[in-house]
Amino acid sequence: MLTSSNTSRAAVRSMASLTRAVSSSSPAAAAAFAARSPAALSSRRLLASNSRVMQQFPRLQSLNSTSSKRAFGTTVRMSSATRIETDAFGEIQPQDRMPEAVVKAFGVLKGAAATVNMKFGLDRLVISNRAIEILGGEKGSKKPVHPNDHVNMSASSNDSFPTAMHIAAVVELENTLLPAMQSLRDALQVKVEKFDKIIKIGRTHLQDATPLTLGQEFSGYVAQLDRNIERVQASIPHLRYLAQGGTAVGTGLNTFKGFDEAIAAEVTKMTGTQFYTAPNKFEVLAAHDSVVEASGSLNTLAGSLFKIAQDIRYLGSGPRCGLGELSLPENEPGSSIMPGKVNPTQCESLTMVCAQVMGNHVAATIGGMNGQFELNVFKPVMIRNLLHSVRILADGMKSFEKNLVHGLEANEPRINALLHESLMLVTCLNPVIGYDMASKVAKNAHKKGLTLKQSAMELKALSEEDFDKYPTTNENDNTTNTDPLLFPTTLVSPDVTAALPETYTIRPLRRSDYQRGYLDVLRVLTTVGDITAAQWDARYDWIASRNDEYYLLVICDGAGRVVGTGSLIVERKFIHALGMVGHIEDIAVDKDQQGKKLGLRLIQALDFVAEKVGCYKTILDCSESNEGFYLKCGFKRAGLEMAHYY
């Protein structure tokens, strides 16, 4: 072990102070620090000054020159001013190709190494030329601080470069990509809610299919991004393991006990995100599966974004001879020769980004395959492609959100026209008139150019009145063409739904339940009266206008007939921090359906609704003879209620 002079120790202390300052300053400062210093803990061939750093720090111009000297035996055109490095083969002037995030990561790593080695009293791990300058020596003289004998002690490019790779990857994924993903996801969720009531024709195999809402279609995009956020987050933990301390082949030769753990702790402190020393250094030097995994998550994200952009692009095609269901924002003139044209440039741009990311992943995958024995030398191409994918995906999503998603509108007249022209609505009549008759109605309508209603009436499959009774979307959807559910089905308990007898369903009340026997079921419970259709509609509209207060559920048998019902009325109070109390009322089951535990299921379902909407308790009235039943349902006796009937 070499002996250092007092001046060398002073230089190390100055270097440690400088690196600590860099660790607490801006990313640009970290990059500048990396640019100022020889690549102490990395291959000096790979570090070059960043042009933006040079502009921010003019003083560095004196350390660089712009030329087209031969580098590695090849004439190259330099993209920016570079620093001339030296090694055993002489002068080297590398091209400016290293990703900025890696340069910054090396700045963090150098700072961490200087701090750790100061703590261990090993002042030979200094940044060579910077230390020489501080000591008043001649830069490049290698005296009194030698770049190999002093600076690279306890380090090798074999472990420092993959360490910088992981630092850069984690920081960029967390600070650049994930925020952009979440922002786009939230913007699409706004459209889900905005388009929730707009019913459109669905499409499978690029052919007409059964209807859904535009909000439901966009909810698929939101779910895709939710899953992709989870995938990216799941790939980050494996990148938190650092190779530093493995030195040349993973054995830790020429380092000292505790160096690797101390480096990981210091990097954690400097970056503000958790890092660990890799438990097996041989794996992190010879293989980079974690980088391939992260790149794979970006590849999956690219596939999802391509689908989303492509869908919106096709749905916005037109304006008159395409689908035209969406109106895209007019960001710029679409054509110099065709006035009024709005091209889907944001969709096209994002899909090109996705294509590039997929290509980057192929290269990263091949790089991951090329670890021979104790070292994978494809590190630069792997981290370059990963960081390139992160950057263009983040930028692409931000642009897509700002310039397209925010201004996206539904073309409702066109949506309605296509919906009512489709023959696939006949699928909704299958449970009513049977598959064979529904098929005849559709074929007759197509052959004669009729609407489904006209065809059904012509074939005497349904009367006009009966045809209008039936919804054009699934019973469990939140909306239909003219017959919306009273509240969203997300408030219906999945457990209760699963516990019902086979073919039975539970859902919110809808207007057409007047024809399905809803009032007859209530008559099992109490007096109802002779309520006309007009009176029913008026009361239904009044209740629907307060759908955060009235929650009415029905259970239907296999034929769609209402066989049970119950109500939850939510009361808002000042007590319990403006709390809410749920009142369960009007539990009724048709006489021929009793014994199937339908009443129990209704109570459980309404109790679920109360909890979901935020009630702090639920109250129900019952006779003393039924007390035992309600105790089994989880309720408790709470005093005695008095009633004054009028």
Structural tokens at position 489: 């089905």
Question: How many Å apart are CA 556 and CA 560, to the nearest integer?
Answer: 5
User: Do β-strands 74-75 and 70-71 pair in parallel, antiparallel, or remain unpaired?
Assistant: antiparallel
Length of the chain: 646
Question: How many Å apart are CA 326 and CA 413, to the nearest integer?
Answer: 11
SS3 at position 241: strand
Question: How many Å apart are CA 580 and CA 600, to the nearest integer?
Answer: 23
User: Do β-strands 326-327 and 409-410 pair in parallel, antiparallel, or remain unpaired?
Assistant: antiparallel
Kindly list the distances between the CA atom of residue 363 and the CA atoms of 21, 33, 111, 595, in Å, as whole numbers in the listed order. 37, 31, 31, 65
Looking at residue 607, its amino acid is D
CA 23 to chain centre: 30
For the chain, the C-alpha Rg in angstroms (whole number) is 35
Structural tokens at position 492: 């219906």
The catalytic residues are 205, 335
Q: In three state form, how does the secondary structure of 515-580 look?
A: CCCHHHHHHHHCCCCCCCHHHHHHHHHHHHCCCCCEEEEEEECCCCCEEEEEEEEEEECCHHHHCE
SS3 at position 335: coil
Stretch (H or E) spanning 210: strand 207-213
Question: How many Å apart are CA 644 and CA 624, to the nearest integer?
Answer: 18
The phi and psi torsions of 176 (rounded to 5 degrees) equal -115, -55
The phi and psi torsions of 564 (rounded to 5 degrees) equal -160, 150
Kindly list the distances between the CA atom of residue 622 and the CA atoms of 118, 228, 566, 587, 636, in Å, as whole numbers in the listed order. 77, 49, 14, 10, 11
Question: How many Å apart are CA 483 and CA 540, to the nearest integer?
Answer: 11
Query: What burial letters (b/e) apply to 349-376, b meaning 16+ CB within 10 Å?
Result: bbbebbebbeebbebbbebbeebeeebb
Collect all residues with Cβ–Cβ distance below 8 Å to 233 and sequence separation of at least 6: 178
Kindly list the distances between the CA atom of residue 242 and the CA atoms of 27, 376, 400, in Å, as whole numbers in the listed order. 21, 15, 35
Task: Find out whether 277 and 242 touch, Cβ atoms under 8 Å.
Answer: yes
Give bridge partners of residue 70 from the DSSP assignment: 75
Task: Find out whether 515 and 486 touch, Cβ atoms under 8 Å.
Answer: no
Of 490, 467, 435, 475, residue with least CA distance to 561: 475
Structural tokens at position 564: 């049970």
Eight-class DSSP state of 150? I
CA 397 to chain centre: 11
